[in-house]
Amino acid sequence: MEKNIIKDKLNRPMHDLRISVIDRCNFRCQYCMPAEKFGPDFEFLPRSALLTYEEIERLGKIFVRLGVEKIRLTGGEPLLRKDLPHLVEKLSAIKGLSDIGLTTNGVLLPKLANELKAAGLKRVNVSLDTLNDELFGQINGRGIGTAPVLEGIEAAKQAGLGVKINMVVKKGLNDTEIIPMAKFCKEQGLELRYIEFMDVGSTNGWKMDDVITKRQIFHLLNEEFELEPVGPAYFGEVAKLYKYKDKDVNVGFITSVSESFCSSCTRSRLSANGQIFTCLFNGNGHDIRNFMRNGATDEQLVERITAIWNGRDDRYSDERTAETNKNRKKIEMSYIGG
Ligand code: SAM
Ligand code: SF4
Ligand code: SF4
């Protein structure tokens, strides 16, 4: 298919698209949706506000025309959206799309992994921040132990999906788990990605002091393992990758805070209610759902998305200071999907 690759003001193409399919979650991770802020009275989006699968498919095709090659489904917890394999099937039929992934807390994978794989899903990133049941229960705010997530990881492997593990590291919370998680993932042949705790949204009480940087994690790992760098797989690869010298398993870092990577950020985001966000930290979404529901043609959608991307000059992480964190209107991670 002929692609018309669009570029933003800083000459960055739009290479990948994150689609949040739902803003709800069965967890209340304290760094993402703290239980005290997302309580029983919290008003999530009504069903009618969510993009339908047909709308997502239509937009997916247009994004691919404009250069997107990879789509990742996320949330909230994407596996809570009814019949998700049906959406995966629709998206995987889009010509010109080379990869579909999913980021999940893993709990529903035993039920859905085979169906997702059959529908065309290639890989899953499963979030797991500790192997300690008690600590995990505290982090997820629901007292849920690690067993359902570990079962989810196993189910994904058995289904033939590629599996990576995401671990958010927060000082004083789970930094003691850095080495145990590395050992576990190395043994299991799973790529572990350490994610620096980020100042997304305004509910997680982020402070620069709570961040454990890649440098600090790397220092700890170096005392236990011998690592060698692996080059980026493609322009816009966000993880800084290493591999164990004695085993062909990668370990990566998402250094959003300590070593920003805005100059190669090629990611566009579509929220569950059809707003386009050009940066994780830019709280101003661009409505596309109502435009579409009011009868926009494909060509008008192409024009609007092109104009949004052409106008993009976001580089929040490059510019981050303690002050920018306080003063900026930001969108919650559970809404936009990480
Ligand atoms: N519910 C799914 C999950 O947990 O994988 C998908 C959505 S979640 C918002 C996407 C990713 O964002 C997860 O890997 C999660 O750990 C990460 N995340 C959430 N809040 C974060 C924060 N404050 N800093 C860094 N990463 C965060
Ligand atoms: Fe839910 Fe994922 Fe956020 Fe945890 S990180 S609260 S599982 S959306
Ligand atoms: Fe991309 Fe915004 Fe993150 Fe920079 S801060 S890497 S522009 S999402």
Quick check: is 8 in a domain?
no
pLDDT digits over 269-310, tens only?
Answer: 999 999 999 999 888 899 999 999 999 999 999 999 999 999
Quick check: is 4 in a domain?
no
Report how many domains make up the chain: 1
Residue 32 Cα to ligand 1 midpoint, Å, equals 6
> Is pLDDT at 336 greater than 90 in this prediction?
no
Quick check: is 146 in a domain?
yes
Quick check: is 41 in a domain?
yes
Residue numbers of the domain that contains 115: 16-336
Q: Which atom of ligand 3 is nearest to the CA of 261?
A: 6
Instruction: Show the ligand 2 pocket: residues with CB < 6 angstroms.
Output: 25, 27-29, 32-33, 75-77, 105, 127, 334
Which ligand is closest to the CA of 320, given by its number? 3
User: For 241, left (φ over 0), alpha (ψ -120 to 50), or beta?
Assistant: beta
* Spatial distance between the Cα atoms of 127 and 129, rounded to a whole number of angstroms: 7
Mean pLDDT, residues 43-71: 97
Mean pLDDT, residues 116-136: 98
Quick check: is 9 in a domain?
no
> Is pLDDT at 232 greater than 90 in this prediction?
no
Residue 304 Cα to ligand 1 midpoint, Å, equals 29
User: For 123, left (φ over 0), alpha (ψ -120 to 50), or beta?
Assistant: beta
% residues pLDDT > 70 (the chain): 97
Quick check: is 95 in a domain?
yes
* CATH number of the domain enclosing 109: 3.20.20.70
Quick check: is 203 in a domain?
yes
The C-alpha angle with vertex 311 and arms to 307 and 316, in degrees rounded to 5, equals 140
Quick check: is 10 in a domain?
no
Residue 268 Cα to ligand 3 midpoint, Å, equals 10
